[in-house]
A = this chain, B = another copy of it.
């Protein structure tokens, strides 16, 4: 007898997760409380344990639950939440904003990696990399400025490409699939060069993103991206992520 209850078209695991979330939000289960184990919940919700497991893992990923073998599942004492930033191709960002995209390479040369950066990347200092500086424009106004170091050893096809024509950013995103990435955001006062290239004033507060990527061959790129003054990077929280 398949008694699929009326009114719940969404996946069962989703419904279970929502119900558990409700109980937490409404303090039926308080922070630090232990909640029933999977087997019990499976009975209560008339579901297989695997389904309950999926639901609870979802909530644990959100940081709402704390799960440990033998110790059971507890409502997280401090609901650390996670937010997700999506890193897309610059051109698409610009075009999505309804602006005409343009791109200009300001400088490109081979150059040994500076010690300061090398240390940060855990890479031997002084290796020769491709260094390039470029500006992305939206409707003719500078949108972001990037200062990029590329490791040709990790992106072997790159040298065949004419970076002055193509877009290294795009090339990399499309061709140099990475396995690991690190991102940081910070704020910097625009220096002389930033100001000139972004057509703004020295000292302007700029949102700066540093991004490093690696693949199996090692470090691929290190980029400093400085955004146009006033730019915001938004995140949607991972709450309703795909289940």
> What number of A residues sit within 8 Å (CB to CB) of B?
63
A93 to B186, CA, bound (A): 17
Chain B contacts for A182, CB-based, 8 A: 234-237
A184, B92: Cβ atoms closer than 8 Å = no
Copies of chain A in the complex = 2
Chain B contacts for A232, CB-based, 8 A: 184-186
Interface of A is mostly: mixed
List residues of A whose CB falls within 8 A of some B CB. Answer: 21-22, 24-26, 31, 57, 60-61, 63-64, 77-89, 92, 173-175, 177-189, 203-208, 215-216, 227, 229-239, 241-242
A25, B85: Cβ atoms closer than 8 Å = no
Chain B contacts for A208, CB-based, 8 A: 187
11 contacts between A and B (CB under 8 A): A63-B86, A64-B177, A79-B174, A83-B181, A84-B84, A181-B239, A182-B235, A185-B207, A186-B231, A187-B231, A207-B207
Chain B contacts for A83, CB-based, 8 A: 84-87, 181, 183
